[in-house]
Amino acid sequence: MINHHKFCIAPMMKKTDKHFRFMARQFTKNSMLYTEMIHSNAILKGDADKLLKYHNSEHPVGLQLGGSDPQSLAEAAIIGEDYGYDEINLNVGCPSKKVKSGNFGVFLMKNVKLLSSCINEVKKNIHTPFTIKCRIGVDDFEGEKYLENFLSTISDYGITTFIIHARKAISGLDTKRNRSIPPLNYELVYKMKERFPGLKIIINGGIEEIGDVKKQLEYVDGVMLGRKIYSDPAFLLQIDKEIYGNNSNLEFSKGLQNYMTYILSLENKKDVNRAITHLLQIIRKISNTKEIRRELLNNVKDNSVDLEHIFDCFKEDLTQKVHLQAR
Q: Which of 94, 118, 134, 313 is catalytic?
A: 94
Helix %, strand %, coil % for the chain, to 5? 50, 15, 35
Question: Cα 124 to the chain's mean position, in Å?
Answer: 25
Give the burial string for 237-266 (b: 16+ CB within 10 Å, else e): bbbbbebbeeeeebebeebbbbbbebbeeb
Residue in 51, 2, 52 with CA at minimum distance from that of residue 28: 2
Question: Which helix (H) or strand (E) covers residue 163, if one does?
Answer: strand 161-165
Q: What is the DSSP letter of 149?
A: H
Residue in 10, 84, 11 with CA at minimum distance from that of residue 54: 84
Q: Does the annotation count 94 as an active-site position?
A: yes
What are the angstrom distances between the C-alpha of 285 and each of 88, 232, 255, 298, 322? 33, 8, 15, 19, 10
Q: Are 131 and 62 in contact (CB under 8 A)?
A: yes
Q: Are 326 and 238 in contact (CB under 8 A)?
A: yes
Q: Distance between CA atoms of 35 and 162, rounded to whole angstroms?
A: 17
Q: Are 94 and 37 in contact (CB under 8 A)?
A: yes
Catalytic residues, by residue number, are 94
